[in-house]
Amino acid sequence: MSSDLALIVVAAAAITAAAIDVRTRRVPNVLTGAIALVGVGIAAAGLGRVGVALSVAGCVVGLVLMLPGYLIGATGGGDVKLLASVGTLLGPAPTLRAFVASAIAGGVIALFVAYRRGRVAATVAGTAALMTSAGARIDDIKSAQRDNRFAYAPAIAVGVIVAALT
């Protein structure tokens, strides 16, 4: 039962955040805050996959993994808070798996978005330049004229659902 409850809450939270992000390009604080409170509450009630300590640890892991991307401008603050808040439901190890699965899903989504925008070659070249410059070319990603940005919560949703199922 507890695994089912955690999976339902993770899926509902992630899908809701993804839908809002696609529509508004924001993940609301009230949503991420509510997810975190529900996650810790479920853990405290003994109804989830993890206890309170692992719930808090999952939040910290999500925060630590996503924060560097935010600090260099590659992701938004809502994305950071989303993975951290869902980490309260998953615990630390599944949150790490969710991060990896989100990165893979984000890459696939980025290629799809680039294809739809007719920018695959430019996106691949820009990504290679960013990687070889150790992040020094981050302004190329952030530039509105480059049309590189896209909602990342759907990638996080895929990642956390995959992690919750494994």
Greatest alpha-carbon span in the chain: 51
Of 107, 84, 88, nearest to 158 by C-alpha is 107
CB neighbourhood size of 131 (10 A): 10
pLDDT at 144: 55
Long-range contacts of 129-135 (CB under 8 A, 24+ apart): 135/72
Gap between the Cα atoms of 159 and 144, Å rounded: 27
Gap between the Cα atoms of 122 and 149, Å rounded: 13
Gap between the Cα atoms of 83 and 97, Å rounded: 11
pLDDT at 1: 36
Is the model more confident about 41 or about 69? Answer: 41
pLDDT tens readout for residues 93-144: 999 999 999 999 998 998 888 888 887 777 777 767 766 766 555 565 555 5
pLDDT tens readout for residues 47-74: 988 999 999 999 999 999 999 988 887 8
Contacts of 97 (CB under 8 A, 6+ apart): 159, 162, 163, 166
Residue 140, Cα to own-chain centre: how many angstroms? 21
DSSP 5: H
